Structure 1
Amino acid sequence: MSRKITILISFNIETKFEEWIKIFDSKESDLIHSEFDIKALFRGLSKDDPKKVICINQSPEGNIQKLFKANSKCIKIHKINFSYMEESSWI
């Protein structure tokens, strides 16, 4: 069993936060997160830039990357721009 870590990810969205959050909080998204044993702890947007989003998740090490790889087409469809992504992991 791998150790669970807390992962902070910030990235840009190409849509309004209200539209993006409907997708992030959907049952489909919950199923995808549970498939990779990812628990969303927080998600929000920058007070200075409404296109910049932060997500804080807890999961076994490497599972966020596995989710991204397995769902890259879906991520692109939902207007997520990871070219500005920053990620840090915390124990």
Structure 2
Amino acid sequence: MVLEPSRYQDPRTWKMTPAMLRARKPFFKGNMIGLGILGALSVGIYFYTYSFLHKDNDFIDVPIPPIDEKELEQLKREFELERSKRSGN
């Protein structure tokens, strides 16, 4: 299906004719204000949600048990062994 040329577009370049530009001119300012409001609303909702979801204090009241030196040394050895295996491959 071939697109039929519009009276408001130049058939060779498909650019808007001066009549179309004149017809759209009164609505430009209102459209830009609407675009700004919708954009600001979208960005505001995004940042509100982002800041709300990053308040991760769910486990702040859970105490961390102390660890003795033997367990700490064992964990360090296991960590180094695992790291050396990964870097060796």
TM-score with structure 2 setting the length: 0.20
- Return the index of the structure with the highest Cα Rg: 2
Answer 1 or 2: higher relative contact order, Cα 8 Å, separation at least 6.
1
Instruction: Give the TM-score normalised by the residue count of structure 1.
Output: 0.19
